[in-house]
Amino acid sequence: MTEHFDGQEAWAAALRAHGRRVTKQRLAVLAAVDRHPHSPAESILAAARTELPELTAQSVYVVLGDLTDLHMLRRFEPPHSPALYETRVGDNHHHAICISCGRVEDVDCAVGHAPCLTPHWNPDAKPMTIQIADVMYQGICQDCQRAQQLPPQSSLTRNKEIGEQ
């Protein structure tokens, strides 16, 4: 329980440093995102309601938006998925997403310092100073790879199941 309390104290100090009041709604959302990184708002709401059952969806969306604007949370949007939130902020890390099960893993900056990548500008472009590179790796996680290597269901088993229907 001490670890949870220490987290709450750290979140409370960060909220005060950003000029925000420390509310049980903000603390519940921060704790939920911290316990369940890479989660969509609906999952954060469900997790936060374990601590604060009366929490509304509207409150969660407002808190997520505010904390994202303050850079206390990071929001990222994988393709074909709702926005996901995490508490890992302040570094230039990326994400690897399994295209089979949707699992998300953090990936540290691959080469050098942030922003990791040097853009090759189109000759007609007006180059800018890059501050953040947002890379999303997509692939198949090891668990899904193992599952896909299982032998296909035999025709004998399939025929038996069909006959039993």
pLDDT tens by residue, 15-71? 999 999 999 999 999 999 999 999 999 999 999 999 999 999 999 999 999 999 999
Give the C-alpha separation, 125 to 131, whole Å.
Answer: 17
Question: Phi, psi at residue 45, to the nearest 5°?
Answer: -60, -50
Give CA–CA dist 104/123, Å, rounded: 36
What's the predicted TM-score (pTM) here?
0.77
What's the pLDDT score for residue 113? 59
| Range(s) of the chain covered by CATH 3.30.1490 | 91-156
Domain with CATH 1.10.10.10 in the chain: 1-90
Using CA of residue 25, residue 71, residue 106, residue 135, what is the dihedral sign?
Answer: positive
Tens digit of each residue's pLDDT (9 = 90 or more) over 70-85: 999 999 999 888 999 9
The predicted structure's pLDDT at residue 112: 58
**pLDDT, tens digit (0-9, with 9 covering 90-100), for 100-144:** 999 999 998 766 555 566 777 788 888 888 777 788 889 999 899
Question: What is the fold, at CATH topology level, of the domain defined by 91-156?
Answer: Dna Ligase; domain 1 (3.30.1490)
Q: What is the pLDDT of residues 140-156, one digit of tens each?
A: 998 998 888 745 444 44
Does 1-90 carry CATH code 1.10.10.10?
yes
The rounded mean pLDDT for the chain is 84
